[in-house]
Amino acid sequence: GFDLSTQQIKALIVDGDLKPVLQEHVEFDVDTPQYKTKKGVYTNPTEDNVYAPVEMWIRAMDVLLTKMKRSSIDFAHIKSISGAAQQHGSVYWSYEAERLLSSLDPQNDLASQLCPTAFANQFSPNWQDHSTVKECVELEHKIGGAEKLAKLTGSKTHHRFTGPQIMRFINRYPDEYEQTSRISLVSSFLASIFLGSIAPFDVSDVCGMNMWDIPAGKWNEEILKIVSGGENEAITLKKKLGEVEPDGGKHLGHIADYYVKRFGFAKDCIVTPVTGDNPGTILALPLRPLDAIVSLGTSTTFLVSTPNYETSPAYHMFSHPTTAGLYMGMLCYCNGALARERIRDEINSKYSHKSPVSPSSWEKFDEFALRSPRTGAKADGDARKLGFYFPLPEIVPDVRAGIWRFSVDAETNVPEYLDASSNEWSVPEDDALTILESQGLSMRLRAGPMLYPSGQPRRVYVVGGGSKNAAICRSLGEVLGPTEGVFRLDMGGNACALGSAYKAYWSYARKVQPNGSYEAFEDFLACKWDESSMILKVDEGYREGVWENYGRLLEPFSRAESFLSQ
Ligand code: XUL
């Protein structure tokens, strides 16, 4: 399983018992310094542009495979390859691409053979790009609003989504667009590199383009017209986009001869569709419908596998990467760890004179979060506290940076804004629990429709840095109320490389059922997955009365949020 992410490319190999036997990575800024990227990208702040050189990814792949080759792993034993990649980025192949991909010379490295000739654009717009404000407004307006676009494609417009990005590319760089034979996502680009020909889009990652009609399972012609600028132009665009592979386990073909001769791969090593990093993450464990993964990194993502295609402009729906009839719901927050760390730092600096505290210690923060009464109410009739902490402008909800605190009347359930001088709030002590509750309530409010009918998850799996923190896990357990509890999956930052390695294995080994369909990914994984060695229960989850009490706060929470956007 490969993971082509923003700052690095990783590879993870699992054996027949699903055990990781090799993990290797190449960090762009460090290992391919000649490209002079910062955190894997170039930025042009005047236009809110964020982009990456495609050649760097290819060069990094050369470096990675060479590094892996030095290990004790014999590439001839690798049966199947899959991957996951940063979502939404697009790669523009030239008319020379197919010829170059299919005639790679094993005596030479990849980059010198493909770059620059195989590409009509040497750069790929990155998911952090915000340059498509105009295109988003136009697309959403012409299609009939955010709700409608979300219903069709799983999401409202977002600056990073590929449709608006292609729209800008067509307008800005008409010559390069003209010279483009095919457009890939970063995911299908990665599959193409292994396959030695341009691969189709992945069934899940294609949903991050704002152009794929998920319920109909085809490109939306109306959107293609808006993006390309006309009826004939839409036909051209559709050709450049190519096909979408509906089966996430499809054998796209065998690995290109180049890798057999240069690195010793077996001739019959399978290449399967490469998906997005978020869909790849939900494959890191046998996630059942109504199970959720909360990724507590720099940003926070909430991922859920659900049979309900319930859309909303507040979140994203994607087709499931392996299982037809299931969907991946996703919430993507900008303010995760950074916001929590701000409160931690304020607490640490206030208390450091009493006893020395390391600035990055969570001890004091946890102490306040764990001993504060839930919602800040000591007794039944007391007002409850609600806080919003966005050091960066937030996506969910779409509001400017700031901190807001409210008191919610116990009788009327109405939130009242408190200004900084209010004596109803001890800053920063009360913020410790309030920020955790606020992050949990925001997920609960939005994930409710995805967790039909009860609005309650079965299990919550936590991954990423914040998953080590006991107070965070307890609060998520109390607010989200998973019936089976909160579990930590300890895979460092490698969950999506692991998920894609599992997908490669499933694609190779899945059995045909008596009814002619393939064994489902979840069933395949559940049989082989050793739960006790992979996850740890970190909170009991649902507590009778507690979850219901937090439920009463959802309405004032939502009202307070509308106040923030005024
Ligand atoms: C998801 C998104 C990010 C990238 C990160 O919509 O934009 O999570 O996939 O690589």
How far apart, in whole angstroms, are the C-alpha atoms of residue 104 and residue 80? 20
How far apart, in whole angstroms, are the C-alpha atoms of residue 304 and residue 456? 11
Q: Residue 106 is encoded by which pair of tokens? A: 């094993």
- Asked whether the beta carbons of 82 and 178 are under 8 A apart, the reply is no
Q: Residue 561 is encoded by which pair of tokens? A: 């949020």
pLDDT values of the chain reduced to their tens digit, one per residue, 566 residues: 999 999 999 999 999 999 999 999 999 999 999 999 998 999 998 998 999 999 999 999 999 999 999 998 999 999 999 999 999 999 999 999 999 999 999 999 999 999 999 999 999 999 989 899 999 999 999 999 999 999 999 999 999 999 999 999 999 999 999 999 999 999 999 999 999 999 999 999 999 999 999 999 999 999 999 999 999 999 999 999 999 999 999 999 999 999 999 999 999 999 999 999 999 999 999 999 899 999 988 778 999 999 889 999 989 999 999 999 999 999 988 888 889 999 999 999 999 877 777 888 999 999 999 999 999 999 989 999 999 999 888 888 888 889 999 999 999 999 999 998 899 999 999 999 999 999 999 999 999 988 888 899 999 999 988 899 999 999 999 999 999 999 999 877 789 999 999 999 999 999 999 999 999 999 999 999 998 988 999 999 999 999 999 999 999 999 999 999 77
pLDDT of residue 354: 76
Q: Residue 248 is encoded by which pair of tokens? A: 């996430």
Q: Are strands 2-4 and 80-85 parallel, antiparallel or unpaired?
A: parallel
- For the chain, count helices (H), then strands (E): 22, 25
Expressed in angstroms and rounded, the spacing between residue 87 Cα and the centre of ligand 1 is 5
Closest CA to 281 of 295, 268, 267, 300: 295
Mutational pocket test of ligand 1: of 160, 278, 494, the residue with most ligand atoms within 8 Å of the beta carbon = 278
**Rg of the chain, C-alpha, whole Å:** 24
pLDDT of residue 399: 87
159 lines ligand 1 (CB under 6 A): no
DSSP letter, residue 10: E
Expressed in angstroms and rounded, the spacing between residue 554 Cα and the centre of ligand 1 is 27
127 lines ligand 1 (CB under 6 A): yes
332 lines ligand 1 (CB under 6 A): yes
List of residues 6+ apart from 528 with CB closer than 8 A? 17, 18
Ligand 1, residue 277: give the atom nearest the CA: 9
C-alpha separations of 284 from 21, 97, 307, 370 in Å: 15, 33, 19, 30
Peptide bond into 116 cis (omega under 30): yes
How far apart, in whole angstroms, are the C-alpha atoms of residue 152 and residue 130? 23
Ligand 1, residue 86: give the atom nearest the CA: 10
Peptide bond into 20 cis (omega under 30): no
DSSP letter, residue 11: E
User: What beta strand segments (E) does 214-280 contain?
Assistant: 218-219, 244-245, 253-254, 270-276
Closest CA to 114 of 34, 198, 20: 198
Burial class, 409, CB count within 10 angstroms (exposed 0-12 / middle 13-18 / buried 19+): middle
Residue 316's H or E segment, with its range, is strand 316-319
Burial class, 549, CB count within 10 angstroms (exposed 0-12 / middle 13-18 / buried 19+): middle
Expressed in angstroms and rounded, the spacing between residue 208 Cα and the centre of ligand 1 is 9
How far apart, in whole angstroms, are the C-alpha atoms of residue 566 and residue 557? 15
C-alpha separations of 125 from 56, 174, 185, 187, 201 in Å: 14, 16, 10, 13, 17
How far apart, in whole angstroms, are the C-alpha atoms of residue 396 and residue 303? 14
pTM to 2 decimal places: 0.92
How far apart, in whole angstroms, are the C-alpha atoms of residue 123 and residue 131? 15
DSSP letter, residue 209: S
Mutational pocket test of ligand 1: of 124, 155, 160, 282, the residue with most ligand atoms within 8 Å of the beta carbon = 160
Closest CA to 133 of 211, 212, 226, 47: 47
158 lines ligand 1 (CB under 6 A): no
Peptide bond into 428 cis (omega under 30): yes
| 3-state SS, residue 43 | strand
Residues in the chain: 566
Peptide bond into 449 cis (omega under 30): no
pLDDT of residue 174: 98
Place of tokens 């383009």: 209
Q: Residue 329 is encoded by which pair of tokens? A: 């719901």
How far apart, in whole angstroms, are the C-alpha atoms of residue 331 and residue 345? 26
How far apart, in whole angstroms, are the C-alpha atoms of residue 561 and residue 563? 5
Ligand 1, residue 299: give the atom nearest the CA: 8
88 lines ligand 1 (CB under 6 A): yes
Expressed in angstroms and rounded, the spacing between residue 546 Cα and the centre of ligand 1 is 33
Expressed in angstroms and rounded, the spacing between residue 127 Cα and the centre of ligand 1 is 6
Mutational pocket test of ligand 1: of 90, 157, 332, the residue with most ligand atoms within 8 Å of the beta carbon = 332
How far apart, in whole angstroms, are the C-alpha atoms of residue 198 and residue 179? 16
- Asked whether the beta carbons of 83 and 1 are under 8 A apart, the reply is yes
- Cα 139 to its chain centre, rounded Å, is 23
Expressed in angstroms and rounded, the spacing between residue 210 Cα and the centre of ligand 1 is 14
Task: Kindly report the three-state secondary structure assignment for every residue of 433-453.
Answer: HHHHHHHHHHHHHHHHHHHCC
278 lines ligand 1 (CB under 6 A): yes
6 lines ligand 1 (CB under 6 A): yes
CB atoms within 10 A of CB 322: 28
What's the one-letter identity of residue 32?
A: T
